[in-house]
Amino acid sequence: MSVDWNDLLDTFEFVSLGQPGEHEAVLCRKTGKFLWHSELADDVDEWPDDTEDEEKYLSIPHKKELDLGQPLVFEFARQFLPDEFDEIQGIFAKRGAYARFKDLLQRRKALDRWYDFENKATEAALREWCEINGITIEPAAGPAPEPDRR
């Protein structure tokens, strides 16, 4: 089965918007279409009763299931902000951590580096998840990216 990368990424981001279980999505193994469901709003899509049937549907993971939450933040801090590691751990001991973390990144002029790090880690984790689940990613439409000329 193959999926469009942008559709997969949009669906993954939807699932990861809130806490695990607030938003769900599945990939229909028969049609190759993503179906979305939210506990916080009326159903986005018609939600089948048998989404737990793994032969028919594949559940899209939440970012926490792929270690893209706090473990990723701490890995970033170890690599790029080792002097602030203890402060970042303290930030994540309280509610509202991501807003305070991003404020710290802004002050340290590291926000763009964080977004790049997070995007690369998300792509790698999703591609690995696809490989494990026998999903191929359709080539992206549009012009090819410019080669890196560093």
The confidence score (pLDDT) of residue 39 equals: 79
Both tokens assigned to 144: 């090819």
DSSP for 124-146, written as a single string: HHHHHHHHHTT-EEEPPSSSPPP
The confidence score (pLDDT) of residue 48 equals: 86
Both tokens assigned to 146: 């410019």
The tens place of each residue's pLDDT in the chain, 150 residues long, gives: 899 999 999 999 999 998 888 999 999 999 999 999 987 776 667 788 899 999 999 999 999 999 999 999 999 999 999 999 999 999 999 998 999 999 999 999 999 999 999 999 999 999 999 999 999 998 765 444 454 444
- Relative to beta strand 23-28, strand 34-38 is antiparallel
Both tokens assigned to 29: 């193994």
Largest CA distance in the chain: 52
The confidence score (pLDDT) of residue 147 equals: 46
Contact status, residue 72 vs residue 118, Cβ threshold 8 Å: yes
The confidence score (pLDDT) of residue 36 equals: 93
